[in-house]
Chain A
Amino acid sequence: MTRAQAIPGEHVRIAMDAWTEPYWLAAKAGRLVAPRCAICGTFRMPPGPFCPECQSQQIDWAELSGEGVLFSFAVCHRSPFPGKVADFTYVPAVVSLPDAGGVRLVSNLIDVEPESIRIDMPLQVVFSEIAGGWKVPLFRPTRGS
C-alpha cells in the first residue's frame, strides 16, 4: 500500500497576476477562496479577469468552507521529475466545490490509500507548501466519512 502524497513542493512554482493573486494569498494564509462575479453571482475557476456569464470584471472573493466532493481522479506512480525525484504515488483529481456553485477545482488527493478512493466521496481542503513560501490547496477524505 502506498499512500498518495503531495508533489514535492520545492519543484512546484506558480505564476500569478492581478487576477490570481488573491487566490494564492488566501491559500498562503490557509484559506480557500473562489472568485464570484459581483454583478451576477456566478462562480468561476480558475480565477480569471472576466465573468463567463456577464463579462463583468468585478469580483467578490468568497470564503469557502474547504469542503469538496470528488468528481474524478487518476493514480500516478511515476515521478513527474525523472532523474531528480524518485517515483512516488500522487493522485490528480477534479474536485467539485458545493459552496461555490459546484464549480470544479483541479487538485491532488493526499493522505489516502488509492484503493479506497471513490467518486463522490467527501473531501476537505488542506494546504501544502510549495516553492517561494506559497501554498497550494490539496484535498484529503473528510474524517469519519
Chain B
Amino acid sequence: MGTKQALSRRVSIVGVGMTRQGAHGDADGQALALQAFRSAMEDAGIRDKHRIDGLLGAKQFDGSGIDPVLFSRAAGITPSITGALDYATAAFTLHYGAALIASGACDMLAFVYGRNPPGSMVELSGAQEYDLVHGFFNAAAVHGLSWVEHMHKYGTTTDVLGRIAVQSRRHAELNPDAAFREPMTMDDYRNSRSMIWPLREYDVCRMSGGAAAIIMASSEVARDCAKLPIDFLSIGREATHALERGVQMSFSPERRAARQLYEAAGIGPQDVDVLFPYEATTVAAVAALENYGFCEPGGCEAFVGDGSRIGINGDLPMNTHGGHLSGGYLIGLTHHVELVRQLRGECGPRQVPDAKVGLYASGGGIRAQFYHAATLFARGDWNA
C-alpha cells in the first residue's frame, strides 16, 4: 500500500478502459462512463474498488459530461477527493490528478468521462462572451484563422492538413473502436465541403458518443497492479492571452510548454517514439509538430510529406488510433488510452515497434485565453 507522507512521489497510469466510440442510441454519458470505468479497473487488476481515493470528471460548456460526485455515487465508491476543472480536456485534468498523487493526497485516482451528445451545435443566440458576438464559437474558426496566418507567413497549403486527415483515417481503419472508419483519399479530402475556410469538412472533428477512464496511482502502488505501469516523465504548461496581443495563436516559434516538458525529462523530440496531438482540427496536429520541435517553424508540410512519416511504421507515428478526427471526439482521453496501450505493446495491427516514450500535446481556448498542456510518458525500461 502507498504511504501518504511524501510530497513528491512518482505517478503512473495503471489502467485504461474505453467503450467503442460512435453511435450509442439513447445511452447517456454516465452509463457509458461506468462501462469504461469497470473496464479500466479490470485492466489494472484492481478488485477492491474502494481503493480509488480520488475521482475526477469533466464537463462541456453546455453542462453535459460527468459530475464526479454523482458518478461516485453511481459507481458505489467513496473517494476522499472529487473534482472537475473549468477547462478539463485530458491533459489538464490528468495533470491535476498527478499533482494530487504526487503530493500524497491520493494513492489511486480515476479520471472518467463519457458523452453522447445531440448532433447539433449549441446556438449562438444569448452568448454573452465578447468574442462569441463575432462567431468565434467553434475551435474551427480560431484554427482556421491560425492556418490563414501560417499560409501567409510560410507559403504552406491545405494539402498538409489533408495528409493528416487521410492518415488519421488509415489508422482508424485498423481500430475497431474508432468512430469513423470508411476509407478516405486525398481526393475525398479536397472535394469535401468548405466548412470554415480554409478548413474543409474533414479538417474538423465531428461529435460522437463514447467514454473512457484512466486509473492513475503512485508508482509504488502501481507495482501491485496487473499491467506494466506507464510513468509520467514530465509535464509542460503554457497559457497566453494571445488573441488580442502577442504571438500567433496555434503556432509560436518558442513554446514554453515544450521547453519545460523536454528540459524536465532531460530528453528531446528525437527521443519520442509516438506522438498524440489533441486535434479539434487538423491545424492543431500540424501545430504540435512545429511547437514540439519535430520540425522547424513553417516546416510541417515538408515534414509530413505524403503522410507515411506519421504512419505506424514511419519516423514519428501520430495518433495511431485515428485521433479525434477519425477515432471520435472525447476530449483527448482516447489518445491516452491508445498511448498507454502502445507503450505496453498491446496494439496488434497498429502497434508501433518497440514504442517506449510517448508525447501527448494539447492546446485549447476559452474566453480569449489559450492554453497548452503536454505530457511525456514512458515505460519503466525506456532509458535502460
Complexed CA–CA distance, A106 and B135 (Å)? 10
Smallest distance from the beta carbon of A79 to chain B beta carbons, Å?
9
Asked if B134 and A106 sit within 8 Å, CB to CB, the answer is yes
Cβ-closest chain B residue relative to A14:
B133
Give every chain A residue within 8 A of B368 (Cβ-Cβ): 46, 106
Complexed CA–CA distance, A130 and B130 (Å)? 13
Give every chain B residue within 8 A of A15 (Cβ-Cβ): 128
Chain A residues numbered 1-18 whose CB sits less than 8 Å from any CB in chain B:
7, 11-15
Which of B130, B137, B197, B244 is close to A114, meaning CB atoms less than 8 Å apart?
B197
Interface of B is mostly: loop
Interface residues on B, range: 35 or more
Complexed CA–CA distance, A130 and B136 (Å)? 17
Identify the interface centre among B121, B133, B199: most chain A CB within 10 Å of its CB: B133
Interface of A is mostly: loop
Smallest distance from the beta carbon of B209 to chain A beta carbons, Å?
20
Query: Is A143 among interface residues, defined by CB-CB distance under 8 A?
Result: no
Asked if A72 and B123 sit within 8 Å, CB to CB, the answer is no
Smallest distance from the beta carbon of A126 to chain B beta carbons, Å?
14
Query: Is A103 among interface residues, defined by CB-CB distance under 8 A?
Result: yes
| With A81-B124, A106-B130 as contacts: A74 and B141 at CB distance below 8 Å | yes
Asked if A82 and B145 sit within 8 Å, CB to CB, the answer is no
Smallest distance from the beta carbon of B281 to chain A beta carbons, Å?
11
Contact with A along B144-174 (1 / 0, CB 8 A): 1110110010000000000000000000000
Query: Is B46 among interface residues, defined by CB-CB distance under 8 A?
Result: no
Smallest distance from the beta carbon of A137 to chain B beta carbons, Å?
10
Smallest distance from the beta carbon of A128 to chain B beta carbons, Å?
11
Query: Is A105 among interface residues, defined by CB-CB distance under 8 A?
Result: yes
Give every chain B residue within 8 A of A83 (Cβ-Cβ): 120
Query: Is A124 among interface residues, defined by CB-CB distance under 8 A?
Result: no
How many residues on A have C-beta within 8 angstroms of the other chain's C-beta atoms? 39
| With A14-B128, A73-B148 as contacts: A92 and B245 at CB distance below 8 Å | no
Complexed CA–CA distance, A12 and B81 (Å)? 41
Smallest distance from the beta carbon of B151 to chain A beta carbons, Å?
9
Chain A residues numbered 76-135 whose CB sits less than 8 Å from any CB in chain B:
76-78, 80-84, 90, 92-94, 102-108, 114, 119, 130
Query: Is A45 among interface residues, defined by CB-CB distance under 8 A?
Result: yes
Asked if A13 and B125 sit within 8 Å, CB to CB, the answer is yes
Asked if A74 and B130 sit within 8 Å, CB to CB, the answer is no
Asked if B131 and A106 sit within 8 Å, CB to CB, the answer is yes
Smallest distance from the beta carbon of A122 to chain B beta carbons, Å?
16
Asked if B121 and A72 sit within 8 Å, CB to CB, the answer is no
Residues on B lying within 8 angstroms of A by beta carbon are 120-121, 123-128, 130-131, 133-137, 140-142, 144-146, 148-149, 152, 194-199, 241, 243-245, 368
A–B complex contacts, Cβ < 8 Å, 27 sampled? A11-B125, A13-B126, A20-B130, A46-B131, A52-B241, A73-B145, A73-B148, A74-B140, A74-B196, A74-B199, A75-B198, A76-B135, A76-B141, A76-B196, A77-B194, A81-B123, A81-B124, A92-B134, A93-B145, A94-B243, A103-B245, A105-B244, A108-B134, A114-B197, A119-B148, A119-B152, A130-B133
